[in-house]
């Protein structure tokens, strides 16, 4: 009987260990006084910190976990509420060497045999792909609702005028206006295709290219479209590599700052350097009037609202691709211009966040 009892206990213990170390869930055990007692392998690997560095320290000592401010909770407040017996569900962001992951979080009180709460289990599930799909759908709905609908009204008006206009020169003017709208739709379609392909392919694309090549390719593409612009490039990252997909958002950033304010002879400086922990920092600085607050908010946070959104898909393309690459974006607007800062990991993009392609999701 003793042998059977130990055997069953070992089986139970192994089941608990299997649940705790699930590769599909981030888990931390925290005392009600906020001291971390253990973290599972999945969480330790994702935040890039050795377990011994975390265990025995307050959970709020490390900046790797931030709760969604829309839920009105901090990590300490969530632990306090769970310590009072409440099951707390919220969302947050997990920061690690491969960038940000959006997670669904549960702070769950654990009681001992006497009914006392001795531990809080902090459990997180990665919802990054779901979050990005939701955001992308919202942006596409906005584009159809605002941009395309407005263009359709213009097309109806200019087409009607074209059909009634007897003067050949005036007809040519109307035709040019129609052509500009169709060209804009073509660029819009191309950006949608780039974003869709990036979401599907980046997680499985191990290829990297030299960052100097990425930077020069992006600068050249903008020079071809804006011959009056001066785009200076400096790269201080010997041997630094990045995903080839970085070319798309970097081109869009340079193009946006060149076109800002409709200036004559705009000047843009693009500087690249390698920073700590295997990250590349790219700073795109201009001498323009400054990025509008609404577009700056979309670029940094990735969130749009019906009343506050970007004017096209360019800003969203930058945000989405840099995010899928595991990178971060910052914007600093001063009296002398705007600085857009991209920070991206030099490691292969398909390691980032454990993403899967949309068609692989149920």
Alpha helices in the chain (DSSP H): 2-20, 41-47, 51-54, 75-83, 128-142, 149-164, 168-201, 211-225, 247-259, 293-301, 314-324
Main-chain phi, psi angles of 253, to 5 degrees: -65, -50
Task: Assess whether pLDDT exceeds 70 at residue 361.
Answer: no
**What is the pairing mode between strands 99-111 and 241-243?**
unpaired
Tell me which of 72 and 32 has the higher pLDDT.
32
352 contacts 345 by C-beta, under 8 angstroms: yes
pLDDT tens digit sequence for 172-205: 888 888 888 888 888 888 888 888 788 777 777 7
Q: Per-residue confidence at 60, pLDDT binned at 50, 70, 90?
A: confident
**By three-state DSSP, how is residue 73 classified?**
coil
At 320 the pLDDT is 84
Strand order in the sheet with 279-286: 230-236, 267-275, 279-286, 337-345, 328-334
pLDDT tens digit sequence for 272-313: 998 876 789 999 998 777 676 667 766 766 555 443 444 567
State how far the Cα of 298 lies from the Cα of 233, in Å rounded to an integer.
26
343 contacts 327 by C-beta, under 8 angstroms: yes
pTM reported for the whole predicted model: 0.61
Task: Assess whether pLDDT exceeds 90 at residue 8.
Answer: no
Tell me which of 36 and 11 has the higher pLDDT.
36
pLDDT tens digit sequence for 325-334: 888 888 888 7
At 200 the pLDDT is 75
pLDDT tens digit sequence for 84-93: 999 999 988 8
Mean pLDDT of the chain: 78
pLDDT tens digit sequence for 138-174: 667 777 767 777 788 888 888 888 888 888 888 888 8
pLDDT over 70, % of the chain: 77
155 contacts 178 by C-beta, under 8 angstroms: yes
């Amino acid at each position: 009987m003793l042998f059977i009892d130990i055997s069953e206990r070992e089986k139970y213990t192994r089941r608990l260990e299997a649940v705790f170390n699930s590769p599909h869930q981030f888990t931390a055990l925290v005392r009600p006084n906020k001291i971390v007692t253990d973290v599972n392998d999945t969480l330790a690997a994702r935040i890039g910190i050795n377990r011994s560095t975390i265990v025995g320290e307050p959970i709020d000592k490390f900046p790797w976990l931030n709760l969604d401010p829309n839920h009105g909770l901090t990590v300490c407040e969530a632990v306090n509420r769970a310590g009072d017996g409440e099951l707390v569900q919220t969302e947050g962001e997990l920061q690690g060497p491969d960038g940000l992951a959006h997670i669904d979080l549960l702070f769950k009180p654990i009681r001992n045999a006497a009914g006392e709460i001795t531990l809080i289990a902090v459990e997180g599930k990665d919802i990054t792909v779901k979050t990005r799909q939701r955001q992308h759908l919202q942006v596409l709905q906005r584009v159809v609702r605002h941009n395309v609908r407005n263009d359709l009204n213009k097309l109806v008006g200019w087409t009607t005028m074209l059909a009634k206009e007897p003067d050949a020169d005036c007809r040519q003017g109307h035709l040019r206006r129609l052509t500009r709208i169709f060209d804009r739709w073509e660029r819009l379609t191309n950006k949608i295709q780039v974003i869709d392909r990036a979401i599907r392919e980046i997680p499985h694309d191990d290829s990297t290219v030299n960052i100097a090549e990425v930077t020069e390719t992006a600068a050249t593409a903008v020079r071809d479209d804006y011959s009056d612009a001066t785009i200076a490039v400096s790269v201080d990252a010997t041997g630094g590599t990045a995903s080839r997909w970085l070319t798309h958002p970097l081109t869009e950033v340079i193009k946006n700052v060149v076109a800002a304010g409709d200036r004559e002879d705009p000047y843009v400086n693009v500087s690249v350097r390698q920073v700590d922990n295997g990250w590349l920092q790219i700073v795109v600085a201009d001498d323009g009037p400054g990025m509008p607050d609404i577009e700056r908010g979309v670029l940094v946070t990735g969130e749009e609202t019906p009343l506050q959104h970007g004017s096209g898909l360019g800003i969203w393309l930058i945000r989405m691709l840099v995010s899928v690459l595991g990178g971060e974006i910052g914007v600093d607007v001063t009296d002398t211009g705007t600085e857009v800062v991209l920070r991206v990991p030099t490691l292969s993009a398909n390691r980032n966040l454990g993403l899967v392609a949309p068609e692989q999701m149920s």
